[in-house]
């Protein structure tokens, strides 16, 4: 898509009054934001199968949760959410029971859904019942905070709602403030449900039933999504931005050109090279950079498929990867290295560097010990939705594997179907990025290494010993037990190496200088509710 077509097609929405208004950011109304991304949401409902990362942003804007997170300001002025500070959203207050076995929420009596229907406790219960029942990612996310069954959720009265705890879990309250437990207009969804689809997932994939700060005015998958402010929103300060036009512009060069020329206000998925260059240019563009907590780029190997069921083969791959080349040429040094660390593991920080580093001779020796001195053939998959990093990374990995006789054919999977491909668990090798919403090591391990987790354990790794250690860390009753469990689980994961950590990514956002209020969030989507233009 070129600049002229972008301007013309955006104007055609009726989102802005004149094509000329799109010519430069300074000329557009201050309450209108124009965004360009590599790809947009493939679903309007995070509960649907295969909903991508861009769908998280839809949920965050269109739906409320009982609580949200507060913010913290770093010494250099950057602003990020605060994992240790929960604040009211749909619930105006809450109270933990004296016995610590439940929490009771008081809902805002003034809250309404977008169609004007009042929000009640029955909508909250139906929504959380849905989240723990639909299966897949939403249900596993709820379980990460010990929110596991509908019986835990109780309507006390029209505006009072209770969550009963099934065990002592420090992540329960935090988990109620992430993206998944969003509150739906239950009657509206039920009108569009079927006996075969009792939760109305087919309908909510392309329609919304929320009461959040923004409504979806237009959704054209693969092209754009347009938000308009819900002026009757009561769960927070009314946003300054009245309308957001978020376009899909797959070509990174076009996105950068649109930003530099002032045709868009913000973009947050340019290649690292572009962010590195824009950071140095100054002028009209500003770049915000934050390390993505609890996140990593990794190379995963399917442990249920020979030869990757052999730890020596996985270790051989870990020793042949061209870590420095990947960090310099695919990531342009933006992020943190997750290799060349110490062994044994001494730290409880996560992510932390493995002891692996490029050692071709050691890789060859391990492959020979595995009985594969002559190598083998396999397939290496990556997400085209993140091709700006994934493709150069895949090529560098392919070249390094060839040096020890492993012939890897590169498989490019469209971004819209990447999540579905991961769930099939049939890819022998893959390059992926994962980040845990709750910034705790045991949370990451619960998602990515626990044998019962069928969602993001993309390597199908099974180790009952590790499962037990993860559980010990999640529910540790003292800090010494917790610290010991974390070190033990990290050491075991590095020894068995079903996934090879490569680098901790950074979250980069480029925007016009007149954009204020940007804040880093765990779900990596800008919260337009907080942005303004001066």
Residues 39, 141 within the same domain: no
Mean pLDDT on 460-487: 95
Confidence class for position 3, pLDDT limits 50, 70, 90: very low
For residue 520, say if its preceding peptide bond is cis, omega within 30 degrees of 0: no
- The model's pLDDT over 149-207, given as tens digits with 9 standing for 90+, comes to 999 999 999 999 999 999 999 999 999 999 999 999 999 999 999 999 999 999 999 99
Residues 91, 138 within the same domain: yes
Mean pLDDT on 424-430: 95
Query: What span, in angstroms and rounded, lies between the C-alpha atoms of 180 and 104?
Result: 19
Is 277 contained in some domain? no
pLDDT of amino acid 5: 47
Residues 212, 175 within the same domain: no
Domain count across the chain: 3
Statement: residue 9 has pLDDT above 50: no
pLDDT of amino acid 386: 83
pLDDT of amino acid 412: 97
Statement: residue 314 has pLDDT above 50: yes
pLDDT of amino acid 368: 98
Which residues lie below 8 Å from residue 187, measured CB to CB, with a gap of 6+? 117, 123
Residues 94, 158 within the same domain: yes
Residues 258, 308 within the same domain: no
Which structural domain, as residue segments, surrounds residue 486?
A: 295-504
Is 15 contained in some domain? yes
User: Which of 138, 164, 186 finishes a domain?
Assistant: 186
For 273-279, which contacts have Cβ atoms below 8 Å and span 24 or more sequence positions? Answer: 273/332, 274/510, 275/332, 275/334, 275/508, 275/510, 276/332, 276/333, 276/334, 278/510
Is 288 contained in some domain? no
Residues 162, 220 within the same domain: no
Is 517 contained in some domain? yes
User: Which of 122, 152, 186 finishes a domain?
Assistant: 186
Mean pLDDT on 117-125: 98
For residue 47, say if its preceding peptide bond is cis, omega within 30 degrees of 0: no
pTM over 0.75: yes
**CATH code, domain carrying 518:** 3.40.190.10
Is 18 contained in some domain? yes
**CATH code, domain carrying 143:** 3.90.76.10
Is 281 contained in some domain? no
Residues 515, 500 within the same domain: no
Least confident of 9-18, 53-62, 302-311, 381-390: 9-18
Confidence class for position 454, pLDDT limits 50, 70, 90: low
Indicate the average pLDDT of the chain: 92
Mean pLDDT on 117-137: 97
Residues 329, 458 within the same domain: yes
Q: Which of 237, 229, 239, 269 is nearest to 252 (CA)?
A: 269
- The model's pLDDT over 510-525, given as tens digits with 9 standing for 90+, comes to 999 999 999 999 999 9
User: Which of 186, 212, 234 finishes a domain?
Assistant: 186
- The model's pLDDT over 335-365, given as tens digits with 9 standing for 90+, comes to 999 999 999 999 999 999 999 999 999 999 9
Q: Which of 268, 267, 339, 258 is nearest to 298 (CA)?
A: 339
Statement: residue 14 has pLDDT above 90: no
Statement: residue 74 has pLDDT above 70: yes
pLDDT of amino acid 17: 34
Is 284 contained in some domain? no
> CB of 344 within 8 A of CB of 492?
no
pLDDT of amino acid 282: 64
Residues 397, 472 within the same domain: yes
Statement: residue 13 has pLDDT above 70: no
Query: What span, in angstroms and rounded, lies between the C-alpha atoms of 173 and 91?
Result: 13
User: Residues for the chain: how many in total?
Assistant: 534
- The model's pLDDT over 210-249, given as tens digits with 9 standing for 90+, comes to 999 999 999 999 999 999 999 999 999 999 999 999 999 9
- The model's pLDDT over 242-285, given as tens digits with 9 standing for 90+, comes to 999 999 998 889 999 999 999 999 998 788 889 988 988 666 79
**CATH code, domain carrying 308:** 3.10.105.10
| Separation of CA 277 from chain center | 25
> CB of 463 within 8 A of CB of 483?
no
The 3-state secondary structure of 380-410 reads EEEEHHHHHHHHHHHHHHHHHHHCCCEEEEE
pLDDT of amino acid 283: 63
Residues 181, 54 within the same domain: no
Residues 106, 175 within the same domain: yes
Q: Which of 67, 150, 64 is nearest to 105 (CA)?
A: 67
- The model's pLDDT over 383-425, given as tens digits with 9 standing for 90+, comes to 988 888 999 999 999 999 999 999 999 999 998 788 889 989 9
Is 34 contained in some domain? yes
Statement: residue 66 has pLDDT above 50: yes
210 to 181, 214, 215, 449: CA distances (angstroms): 12, 9, 8, 34
pLDDT of amino acid 7: 42
Residues 361, 244 within the same domain: no
């Amino acid at each position: 898509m070129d600049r002229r077509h972008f301007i013309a097609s955006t104007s055609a929405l009726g989102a802005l009054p004149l094509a000329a208004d799109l010519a430069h950011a300074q000329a557009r109304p201050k309450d209108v934001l124009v965004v360009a991304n590599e790809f947009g949401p493939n679903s309007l409902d995070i509960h649907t199968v295969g909903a991508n990362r861009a769908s998280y942003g839809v949920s965050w804007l269109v739906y409320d949760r009982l609580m949200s997170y507060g913010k913290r300001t770093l010494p250099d002025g950057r602003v990020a959410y605060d994992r240790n500070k929960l604040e009211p959203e749909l619930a105006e207050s809450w109270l933990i029971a004296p016995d610590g076995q439940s929490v009771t929420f008081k809902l805002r009596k003034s809250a309404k859904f977008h169609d004007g229907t009042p929000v009640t406790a029955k909508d909250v219960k139906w929504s959380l019942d849905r989240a723990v029942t639909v299966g897949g990612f939403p249900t596993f996310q709820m379980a990460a905070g010990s929110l596991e069954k509908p019986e835990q959720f109780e309507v006390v009265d029209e505006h009072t709602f209770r969550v009963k705890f099934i065990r002592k879990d420090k992540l329960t309250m935090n988990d109620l403030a992430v993206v998944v437990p969003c509150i739906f207009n239950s009657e509206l969804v039920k009108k569009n449900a079927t006996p075969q689809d009792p939760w109305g997932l087919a309908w909510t994939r392309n329609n919304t039933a929320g009461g959040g700060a923004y409504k979806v005015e237009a959704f054209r998958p693969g092209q754009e999504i347009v938000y308009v402010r819900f002026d009757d929103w009561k769960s927070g300060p009314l946003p300054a931005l009245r309308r957001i036009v978020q376009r899909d512009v797959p070509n990174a060069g076009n996105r950068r050109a649109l930003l530099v020329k002032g045709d868009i206000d913000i973009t947050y998925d340019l290649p690292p090279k572009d962010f590195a260059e824009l950071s140095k240019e100054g002028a009209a563009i500003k770049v915000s950079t934050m390390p993505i907590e609890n996140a990593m780029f990794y190379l995963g190997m399917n442990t249920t498929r020979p030869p990757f069921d052999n730890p020596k083969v996985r270790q051989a791959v870990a020793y042949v990867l061209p870590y420095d080349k990947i960090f310099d040429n695919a990531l342009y040094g933006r992020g943190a290295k997750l290799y060349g660390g110490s062994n044994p593991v001494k730290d409880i920080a996560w992510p932390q560097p493995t002891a692996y580093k490029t050692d071709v001779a050691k890789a060859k020796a391990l492959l020979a010990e595995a009985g594969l001195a002559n190598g083998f053939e396999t397939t290496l998959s990556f997400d085209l939705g993140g091709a700006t990093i994934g493709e150069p990374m895949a090529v560098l990995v392919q070249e390094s594997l060839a040096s020890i006789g492993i012939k890897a054919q590169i498989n490019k999977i469209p971004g819209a179907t990447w999540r579905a491909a991961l769930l099939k668990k049939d890819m022998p090798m893959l390059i992926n990025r994962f980040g845990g919403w709750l910034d705790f090591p045991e949370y990451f391990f619960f998602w990515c290494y626990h044998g019962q987790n069928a969602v993001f354990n993309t390597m199908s790794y099974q180790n009952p010993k590790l499962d037990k250690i993860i559980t010990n860390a999640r529910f540790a009753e003292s800090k010494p037990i917790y610290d010991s469990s974390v070190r033990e689980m990290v050491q075991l994961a590095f020894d068995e190496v079903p996934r090879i950590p490569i680098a901790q990514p950074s979250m980069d956002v480029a925007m016009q200088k007149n954009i204020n209020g940007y804040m880093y969030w765990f779900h990596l989507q800008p919260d337009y509710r907080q942005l303004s233009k001066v």
